[in-house]
Amino acid sequence: AQRVTQPEKLLSVFKGAPVELKCNYSYSGSPELFWYVQYSRQRLQLLLRHISRESIKGFTADLNKGETSFHLKKPFAQEEDSAMYYCALSGSSNTGKLIFGQGTTLQVKP
Amino acid sequence: DTAVSQTPKYLVTQMGNDKSIKCEQNLGHDTMYWYKQDSKKFLKIMFSYNNKELIINETVPNRFSPKSPDKAHLNLHINSLELGDSAVYFCASSRQGLAETQYFGPGTRLLVL
């Protein structure tokens, strides 16, 4: 079964501290993985996807197939990073269907 | 320019009523989706249409009926509303294909009393 697990509902850090939002997935094939973010009063938007291997707003995520993980990291958190973060998986069916994790609220304190 | 828009933004209604939520995208995408976000903020896909054709229907009750008059619009009609239908409903669109970015609407917050 396809599943995405984000074990932390809330992650609270101080400004300047490193951040790691955990994401584990369950999928038998080769998944495409994404991180979407929802800032307060804004719509859900793509933060990054693993095929692009890019860094957006200082965030990076590496796909670890051995550990079936796609953790999101940032070395120095900023207050404006406070938001809800969703890890999502798209399988190989080409339907575009996204399976989302439960979401993690990141709170960056001053 | 708003890429994906939904109306209404808020919807408060009584149990048993029928209501519709509209979604429009001006991105020229072929694929559109409806997601439901429950009170615990969990997002789950409900439907997906590609070029007006239904391609995903995720065991959603028959009371929910999506309609796509053209590829830029995907409306959601809900019959006989129940308390458990209270949620935020998000529309999204993307180009067709694997791993395409999905662009989300602002959401419609539905409250059934």
Q: Report the pLDDT averaged over residues A33-51.
A: 91
Which chain A residues touch B30 with a CB distance below 8 Å?
A: none
Residues belonging to chain B with any Cβ–Cβ distance to chain A shorter than 8 Å = 4, 31, 33, 40-45, 48, 50, 55-56, 90, 92, 94, 96-107
Task: Kindly state the percentage of chain B with pLDDT values over 90.
Answer: 73
DSSP code, position B9: S
Q: Where are the alpha helices (DSSP H) in B21-109?
A: none
B45 three-state secondary structure: strand
Residue type at position B53: E
Distance CA B110, CA B113 (A): 10
Q: Give the closest of A92, A97, A100 to B56, CB-based.
A: A97
Residue A32 and residue B44: Cβ atoms within 8 Å?
no
Residue A96 and residue B48: Cβ atoms within 8 Å?
yes
Residue type at position A80: E
Residue B82 predicted with pLDDT over 90? yes
Residue A100 predicted with pLDDT over 70? yes
Residue B107 and residue A43: Cβ atoms within 8 Å?
yes
- Reported as a pLDDT band with limits 50, 70 and 90, residue B57 is confident
